[in-house]
Amino acid sequence: MNILLLGSGGREHAIAWKLSQSNKIGKLFIAPGNAGTSEVGVNVQLEISNFSSVKEFVLENKVEMVIVGPEQPLVDGIADYFLSNDDIKEIPVIGPVKAGALLEGSKDFAKEFMSKYNIPTAKYMSFTKATLDEGKKFLETLSTPYVLKADGLAAGKGVLILTDLNEAKNSLAEMLGGQFGEASEKVVIEEFLDGIELSVFVITDGKSYKILPEAKDYKRIGEGDTGLNTGGMGAVSPVPFADKSFMDKVERKVIQPTIDGIRKEGINYKGFVFLGLIKVDDEPYVIEYNVRMGDPETEVVIPRIKSDLLDLFIHVGNETLDKVHFEIDDRSCTTVMLVSGGYPEEYEKGMLITGFDKIEKSFLFHAGTKESNDGTETNGGRVIAISSYGVDHKEALKMCYENALKVDFKGKYYRKDIGFDLN
């Protein structure tokens, strides 16, 4: 079966790596991909936001399934585009239609959905420029810290957590005044939840679902979870504090009502649901929904899936996910992200990467890399994820860190304390 996978990060390399192991795979195309994906498939230079060129490629290359890595094409309606074009409507797209992608694309929509289906989340209210004064008054009724969220996609920067009331009021005014463009025309203000975060992943065909391994990611650039937010500096799966009784609660109180809600809303949802959760006093609350896999969580979740990933996707496409035998590896898997010096602020690209041949017992998922005449070069802030298995996360991390010393490029930085808060 010929597959087109959209995206270019570590997430896509991990998905491509796993798909390439399937005995059902024909040609695997990745658009645009990176130096890592070209080792397991064929990179194609496609403008993925241009759906008609995606369609042309799909028809010319007899692609039989499209898998969408990042959220933007989903929010822009790529699944709807396929369904509404007669010559490609039978080709399954793994990723929800626009109405489903709103769970990630609009915080206000997600909060309304959660309140309608009784899914535990922080108390909230939404405001626009016209209701700025009400927003300020609402802030006065809350206690510090204050959580302000731009409604739309803001490249992971749209959430502000402020300790000072006046600062929160000023930030609200700035956001509604266009700080994040259209994304902050509406702002959700919500109660601060104090707990420990984890990510839970579900794949659904719109009717039934499978729960994938959960993970914890480390978003801040600095050790001890300090400094600026990044795309993610490392991840661990399984998450030791997500024991069976907690995960049963997650399934009952969050996953089932979410999938039921999607079905009741009549949303054609074939793809991943990523639940950003926070555990407060042993109870799960939803911080956010995403409609794709997480990155770098994918780099620890995918290696723990024993079953054939392409087979899983085929069942999603056929709405027969309930018939799939789904197996998870008991081992722990961890990843450590090597990033460019300066990231998440300014950084240089084009640094030669060395040491690939020295890697033992870990596997590398490329994020921001590209091939050049001289070899593989850095091509982004997050460069390479080093993933390893172990009997527990400590053993797996030890292996990641041994190999993190071996892969090298000018300016290399990584956090040396991934998993520091876990027992």
Q: Note the residues at the interface with ligand GLY (CB under 6 A).
A: 217, 232, 290, 294-295, 297
CA 119 to chain centre: 21
Nearer to ligand AMP, 276 or 355 (CB): 276
Position 407 contacts ligand AMP (CB under 6 A): no
Q: How far is the CB of 52 from ligand GLY (least distance, A)?
A: 28
Site for ligand AMP in 277-316 (CB under 6 A): 287-288
Are the C-beta atoms of 81 and 108 separated by less than 8 Å?
A: no
- CB-nearer residue toward ligand AMP: 279 or 370: 279
Alpha-carbon 281 to chain mean position: 25
Of residues 154 and 336, the one with the C-beta less far from ligand AMP: 154
| Cβ 310 to ligand GLY shortest distance, Å | 22
Taking the least distance from each CB to ligand GLY, the nearer of 271 and 294 is: 294
Least distance between ligand AMP and beta carbon 94 (Å): 23
Q: Which residues, listed in sequence order, are joined to residue 388 by a DSSP beta bridge?
A: 334
C-alpha span between 287 and 241 (Å, rounded): 18
Structure tokens given for 327: 């197996």
Of 148 and 255, which CB lies nearer to ligand AMP in the complex structure? 148
- The Cα 309–Cα 312 span in angstroms is 5
Tell me how far CA of residue 17 lies from CA of 54, 60, 190, in angstroms: 22, 24, 39
Contact 258, 116 (CB under 8 A): no
> Rounded CA gap, 219 and 297, in Å?
11
Which two structure tokens, joined as six digits, stand for 32? Answer: 């645009």
Instruction: Quote the CA–CA distance of 181 and 177 in Å, as a whole number.
Output: 8
Q: Is 35 in the site for ligand AMP (CB under 6 A)?
A: no
Question: How far is the first Cα of the chain from the last one, in angstroms, to the nearest whole number?
Answer: 43
Question: Among 85, 64, 33, 96, which Cα is nearest to 272's?
Answer: 96
**C-beta separation of 120 from 286 below 8 A:** yes
Tell me how far, at minimum, the Cβ of 215 lies from ligand GLY, in Å. 9
* Contact between 276 and ligand AMP per CB under 6 A: yes
Binder to ligand AMP among 193, 310, 399, 407 (CB under 6 A)?
A: 193
Interface segment toward ligand AMP; rule CB under 6 A; list 187-195, 201-209, 323-331, 357-365: 187-195
Q: Which does 122 bind (CB under 5 to 8 A by kind): ligand AMP, ligand GLY, none?
A: ligand AMP
- Assign 296 to helix, strand or coil: coil
- Residue 121 CB, shortest distance to ligand AMP, in Å, is 8
Query: Is 99 or 148 the residue whose CB approaches ligand AMP more closely?
Result: 148
Q: How far is the CB of 334 from ligand GLY (least distance, A)?
A: 14
Our finding on whether 138 is near ligand AMP (CB under 6 A) is no
Query: Does residue 190 touch ligand AMP according to CB under 6 A?
Result: yes
Cα–Cα nearest to 328, from 208, 205, 217, 201: 201
Select 88 or 273, whichever has its Cβ closest to ligand GLY: 273
Q: How far is the CB of 383 from ligand AMP (least distance, A)?
A: 23
Separation CA 376–CA 350 (nearest Å)? 9
Q: Where are the alpha helices (DSSP H) in 181-220?
A: none
List of residues contacting ligand AMP (CB under 6 A): 122, 147, 149, 159, 190, 192-193, 197, 276, 287-288
